[in-house]
Amino acid sequence: MDGGVSRPARTSPGRVTPDRIPQATVARLAVYLRVLTEMLAEGVRTVSSDVLAAAAGVNAAKLRKDLSHIGSSGVRGVGYDVSRLTEQVESVLGLTRSHAVALVGVGNLGHALAGYGGFAQRGFGVAALFDVDPELVGTTIAGVEVLDVAQIPRVCAARGVTIGMVATPAAAAQQVCDAMVGAGVRSILNFAPAVLSVPAGVEVRKVDLAVEMQILAFHVSRRPDGTIPDATEKVYG
């Protein structure tokens, strides 16, 4: 994608397909962005794929291929302009606009999520909080009032919520999800240990602590002794 026309590919005659970006790449772009932001704050102007890849914990060739998908333009023999690349990644991830987030379930975990500072930082404003518990409804968390779940359809639609977070018990998750989808929410982050079924066109991602722990448990039990499978140093995001 070297210098010429930046977004070549299309698939069907009327619809421009901006060179489909692989799922795996999208997930890593978010990681690169964090590293780039840090570098920018430190005053770094230019970075090579080697250095950026190391900081992000990935292979350099993979990073270059990822960037090639977003039509990046590094300079051979030099590297990437940190500032320019940051903007490109932000643009691709849709972070140039802000996103109104609704969080349902302000119990243990939900409360922590509502108070998490990293949100507003990146243009994700907590636009609404919901719960069923009458004890919690009416209270204020991080400056936002907790509303009754019955208000989900009305409030999500009114406040233009684009991303919903489900932090309810498993039993309530599907119902809450349906309410949000009905209100036009198209992207949901699910913390409840339940499978959500949604109509096509709605994106669900899941964060499941129990699953993560069990994957780690698997690896623990594979190495009862102190065997070291490989001698190279590994880096993880």
Partner DNA sequence: TGTTGTGAAAACCTTCACAGCG
Partner DNA sequence: CGCTGTGAAGGTTTTCACAACA
Residue 172's binding partner out of DNA, its own copies, none, with CB under 5 to 8 Å set by partner kind: none
Beta bridge partners of 204: 188
Nearer to its own copies, 76 or 219 (CB): 219
Determine the Cα angle at 48 with ends 45 and 53, to 5°.
115
In the set 67, 111, 130, 173, which binds its own copies (CB under 8 A)? 111
- Piece in contact with its own copies (CB under 8 A), picked from 60-68, 71-79, 95-103, 132-140: 95-103
Does the protein bind DNA through residue 58 (CB under 7 A)?
yes
Question: Which DSSP letter does residue 4 get?
Answer: S
24 is a site residue for DNA (CB under 7 A): yes
107 in a known ligand binding site: yes
Residue 224 in the binding site for DNA (CB under 7 A):
no
61-100 positions binding DNA, by CB under 7 A: 61-62, 64-65, 67-68, 72-80
Piece of the chain touching DNA by CB under 7 A; list 1-9, 132-140, 146-154, 182-190: 1-9
Site string for its own copies, 40-59 (x = CB under 8 A): ---------------xxx--
Nearest to 7 by CA among 70, 76, 53: 70
CB distance 51 to 88 below 8 Å: no
- Return the residue matching tokens 């639609």: 157
154 binds, among its own copies, DNA, none (CB under 5 to 8 A by kind): none
The binder of 74, among DNA, its own copies, none, by C-beta within 5 to 8 A per type, is: DNA
Using rule CB under 8 A, residue 193 touches its own copies: yes
Of 35, 49, 86, 165, the one binding DNA by CB under 7 A: 49
Distances (CA, A) of 54 to 47, 205, 222: 11, 27, 28
Q: Which long-range contacts (CB under 8 A, 24 or more apart) does 179-186 make?
A: 179/149, 179/152, 179/153, 180/102, 180/104, 180/152, 180/156, 182/153, 183/152, 183/153, 183/154, 183/155, 183/156, 183/157, 184/156, 184/157, 185/102, 185/156, 185/161, 186/162
If binding is defined by CB under 8 A, does position 135 make contact with its own copies?
A: no
Residue 33 binds to its own copies (criterion: CB under 8 A) = yes
Question: Any idea of the CA torsion for 204, 58, 77, 84, to the nearest 10 degrees?
Answer: 30
Site for its own copies contains 200 (CB under 8 A): yes
> Is residue 112 within the footprint of its own copies (CB under 8 A)?
yes
